A and B are shown apart, each in its own frame.
Chain A
Amino acid sequence: QQQVKQSPQSLIVQKGGISIINCAYENTAFDYFPWYQQFPGKGPALLIAIRPDVSEKKEGRFTISFNKSAKQFSLHIMDSQPGDSATYFCAASIFNAGGTSYGKLTFGQGTILTVHP
């Protein structure tokens, strides 16, 4: 059961272009939506995260857009650079839940981004 669906599976963008990766979730209890970036040979690393009380969060060239009613969120990379070439994962969790969730993340399938110079 895939609770977080990510698209596209791969993406090729020219340097300076905008990269857009989309995710959709099913569990309305999710209240924490991070994006992770993974370079070859490395583990994923937290890139940016959003809570559902805001519709957008921006950090430098990276922006998360969040649509609670549609249960969708997306990552926008402005002015994409070759150094942004990596695999990107969206994820979701129930951050504030008590009990046994402990913030465990459910990940999307991943998007391989290639930025051509």
Chain B
Amino acid sequence: DVKVTQSSRYLVKRTGEKVFLECVQDMDHENMFWYRQDPGLGLRLIYFSYDVKMKEKGDIPEGYSVSREKKERFSLILESASTNQTSMYLCASSSPGHFNYGYTFGSGTRLTVV
């Protein structure tokens, strides 16, 4: 069974901390994505990567950075966590051109910043 695994289901961090969210996929997908999910706002794209060491900003990159040193791993970094970054974070992967397969999402990390 193909999988996208997010390292933590729940995280509680303090304001100003540096936070790492890890995501690993086992499908050899080229593309990986980080979204945040907030009620009434849907899923908003933070960053995505289409190859190792490549990254592109999404719609809401402010306050975040990413790292992709290996094809299977895509990390989201909150440089200095703030309370407005309290959210559900979803990682996804996909392979270009696979129209019928879409994205495979992880189960999410619910981050609370206090």
Contact = CB atoms under 8 A, between A and B. Distances in A.
A9 interface: yes
Nearest to A90: B42
A34 B99 CA distance: 9
A95 interface: yes
Interface in B12-67: 31, 33, 35, 39-45, 48, 50, 56, 58-59
A34 B104 CA distance: 13
Interface of B: 4, 31, 33, 35, 39-45, 48, 50, 56, 58-59, 90, 92, 94, 96, 99-103, 105-108
Prevailing SS type, chain A contact patch:
loop
A102 B48 contact: yes
Nearest to B56: A100
Interface residues of A, number: 26
Contacts, number: 63
Given A42-B107, A43-B105, A104 B45 contact: yes
Interface in A71-117: 89, 95, 100, 102-110
Interface of A: 1, 6, 9, 32, 34, 36, 41-46, 49, 51, 89, 95, 100, 102-110
